[in-house]
Amino acid sequence: MNYQWNFASVFENADALLYGAVGTLRIFAICLVLGLSLGLVVGLARYARNRLLNWPATAFVEFFRNTPVLVQILWFYFALPMLVPFEISPLMAAALGISLNSAAFSAEIYRGGIQSIEPGQWEASRALGMTGLQAMRRIILPQALRRMLPALTNRAIEIFKMSTLASVVAYVELLQQGKLVASLNFNPIETYSVIALAFFVFLFPLVRATYALERRLAKGD
């Protein structure tokens, strides 16, 4: 073990990596918002008794849960342009794949969370004269979200890490820039070490923050 680590060659390209980090944050933000909000819609539709809502939502969940994200991203990048009248950018393809996949998984989290609320909560809301929507918004969802927070945190972490899959269509994010730096300087060992550490440095505080949020929301329990 007398390998001479040389991190200087990585930090010489800090600009490129920083540029990639911005790309990672951008696609993370897009997919987090799209994935988790679309997931809520799909999850509510899965919960609906109406078959016109329920069936397509179930089909959506099963399709995106049971195909690999990597394949979805490649499909959106290469095949979707054949079907739609506009260009698909790497960001669009990757964001579509990751968001829809996250929506499918988080839909199940929402559905499970909503179903875990005691029927008595619905009854008490309805007995006061609330509409179904009011009961959902004021009584059911606030309680369900609190229970779902750990699972949704896991989803957010997954989304962050899945963003590296966007490199397969050459979207500029951390891994993609890392590959570039590694191939220019022939230093994959140091570069990928730095990339791995960068992900940890981003995610760890995020996770700690959600723990704090969980504790804050736990009031009343």
Partner 1 sequence: MADPLLRTIGLRKSYGTHEVLRGIDLSVLPGERIAILGASGSGKSTLLRCLNFMEIPTSGTVELGGRLLGSEGRGGGARVYAERELTQVRQRVGMVFQQFNLFPHMTAIDNVMEGLRTVKGVKAPAARERAMAELARVGLTDRAEQYPARLSGGQKQRVAIARALAMDPELLLFDEPTSALDPELVGEVLGVIRSLAEEGRTMLLVTHELGFAYHVATRVIFIADGEIHESGTPDEVLKNPQRERTQAFLARHREFSL
| Interface residue list for partner 1 (CB under 8 A) | 118, 120-121, 123-124, 126-132, 134, 138-139, 142-143, 146, 219-221
Q: Smallest Cα–Cα separation from 26: which of 171, 169, 157?
A: 171
Q: Which is nearer to partner 1, 120 or 205 (CB)?
A: 120
Task: Encode burial over 146-175: b for 16+ CB neighbours within 10 A, e otherwise.
Answer: bbbbeebbebbebbbebbbbbbbbebbbbb
Provide, rounded to whole angstroms, the least separation between the CB of residue 122 and partner 1.
9
**DSSP label at 12?**
T
Q: Which is nearer to partner 1, 129 or 205 (CB)?
A: 129
Provide, rounded to whole angstroms, the least separation between the CB of residue 143 and partner 1.
5
Q: Which is nearer to partner 1, 85 or 129 (CB)?
A: 129
Give dist(CA 98, CA 22) in Å, integer.
17
Rg of the chain, C-alpha, whole Å? 21
Provide, rounded to whole angstroms, the least separation between the CB of residue 160 and partner 1.
29
For the stretch 81-87, contacts whose Cβ atoms lie closer than 8 Å and that sit 24 or more positions apart, written own/partner, are: none
Provide, rounded to whole angstroms, the least separation between the CB of residue 141 and partner 1.
10
Provide, rounded to whole angstroms, the least separation between the CB of residue 218 and partner 1.
10
Give dist(CA 86, CA 73) in Å, integer.
17
Q: Which is nearer to partner 1, 26 or 147 (CB)?
A: 147
Q: Which is nearer to partner 1, 54 or 121 (CB)?
A: 121
